Amino acid sequence: MKIDKISFTAVENRQSQNKKDYLGMFYAKAKNSADMTDAILVPRTIFKGYLGIMTGTTLVTLGALTSKMPKLSKTLSIAGLLSSLYGTWAFVRPYILKGNGVDTVETLQKNKHS
């Protein structure tokens, strides 16, 4: 048998059949298929708040991990704290500055009967 006549098409066909469709596996395991395709509309300021808080937490963590380099650690920690502060402000601002802020039971009942 000559080596140059060996065909690798059978091996290639078997490999293509064994390929896993990872996204298909997620769809198959999801209890509700809408979980994979739904989109939630979030106001831009709240989204900025999430990003600010997550970025701030990451920067503070990196600042703690770089404790052997004091200047870098302090810079990362301060940047993280400022980012978290901005994130908190951006997250809370739509609720505090617009409308009454926090509704009380009396205002809810009054609006319900109106």
* pLDDT tens, N- to C-terminus, the chain (114 residues): 555 555 555 555 555 555 667 777 766 776 665 655 666 677 788 888 999 999 999 999 999 999 999 999 999 999 999 999 999 998 888 777 665 555 566 766 776 665
Q: Give residue 100's identity as a one-letter amino acid code.
A: N
In a domain, 43, yes or no: yes
Confidence at residue 7, expressed as pLDDT on a 0 to 100 scale:
57
Q: What does the pLDDT read at residue 45?
A: 81
10 Å CB burial of residue 49 (0-12, 13-18, 19+) is buried
Residue 2 lies in a domain: no
Residue 37 in domain: yes
pLDDT at 53: 94
| Other residues' Cβ atoms within 10 Å of the Cβ of residue 109 | 10
Print the domain residue range for 45.
Answer: 8-113
The pLDDT of residue 91 is 85
Residue 3 covered by a domain = no
Query: Is 13 part of any domain?
Result: yes
